[in-house]
Chains A and B, each alone.
Chain A
Amino acid sequence: EIVLTQSPGTLSLSPGERATLSCRASQSVSSSSLAWYQQKPGQAPRLLIYGASSRATGVPDRFSGSGSGTDFTLTISRLESEDFAVYYCQQFGSSAVTFGQGTKLEIK
């Protein structure tokens, strides 16, 4: 099973700043199989990025994904108040799916 490790666990930033969230896989992952989600308290997760770098429908262009192999990054170029949430990366294996443990993005 591929393990995804997200860092940092918590990121404290101010609105307008740039956020960089990391997701590292225990072995190489196909870029087409890497996705990112946003979850706010009391809500279901929301798809942000699929295929490592493709934005889902309706996702603002301040969100971008990059990376390949074992290292992937979610970048939020200029934080807005509604972006403070928990973010998860996810990968699809041949039969199983795994999630990272999450990065909490909090207001500084």
Chain B
Amino acid sequence: EVQLLESGGGLVQPGGSLRLSCAASGFSFSSYVMNWVRQAPGKGLEWVSVISSTSGNTYYADSVKGRFTISRDNSKNTLYLQMDSLRTEDTAVYYCAKRGKEPCFDYWGQGTLVTVSS
């Protein structure tokens, strides 16, 4: 059974940093592209970042470019999101999502809440 378990969320002040983790199991993690998606309270889904299976390629939404860094450790089956220079508008539930063999996100984690507030 595929499982994605995010952790690392919490309350942080504006300008602060946080690192999210997503522990994967039940599939060959090193073979799949992985993504982060966020959802502000009461709002829709916003794609944040993607990383290729070998970490060779990464892309970011314009809203986080230069502040967030996606990475992965295939030996630990874990995806990361380093978030720096956090802003109040980064407050959201952050989901990790596995890309399927077709263009889609076939599995999602349960999400971790990040709150940026003074």
Give every chain A residue within 8 A of B73 (Cβ-Cβ): none
List 17 additional contacts besides A45-B105, A51-B102; criterion CB under 8 Å: A33-B103, A35-B105, A39-B45, A44-B108, A44-B110, A44-B111, A45-B45, A45-B108, A46-B108, A47-B106, A88-B44, A90-B104, A96-B61, A97-B35, A99-B46, A99-B47, A102-B45
Q: A101 and B44: CB pair below 8 A?
A: yes
Q: B109 and A50: CB pair below 8 A?
A: no
Binary B-proximity of A76-108 (CB < 8 A = 1, otherwise 0)? 000000000000101010011111111000000
Q: Name the contact of B103 in the complex, choosing from A32, A45, A99 (C-beta under 8 A).
A: A32
A interface with B by C-beta (< 8 Å):
32-33, 35, 37, 39, 44-47, 50-51, 54, 56, 88, 90, 92, 95-102
11 examples of A-B residue contacts, CB within 8 angstroms: A32-B103, A33-B103, A35-B103, A39-B45, A44-B95, A51-B103, A56-B104, A92-B103, A96-B59, A98-B47, A101-B44
Give every chain A residue within 8 A of B105 (Cβ-Cβ): 35, 37, 45, 47, 90
Tally of contact residues, B, Cβ under 8 A: 20
B8 at the interface (CB under 8 A from A): no
Q: Measured between C-beta atoms, what is the minimum distance from A45 to chain B in Å?
A: 6
Q: Which residue among B35, B50, B102, B103 has the maximum number of chain A CB atoms within 10 Å of its CB?
A: B103
Binary A-proximity of B82-118 (CB < 8 A = 1, otherwise 0)? 0000000000000100001011111111110000000
Give every chain A residue within 8 A of B108 (Cβ-Cβ): 44-46
Residue of B nearest to A30 (CB): B103
Residue of A nearest to B47 (CB): A97
Q: Which residue among B44, B95, B104, B105 has the maximum number of chain A CB atoms within 10 Å of its CB?
A: B104
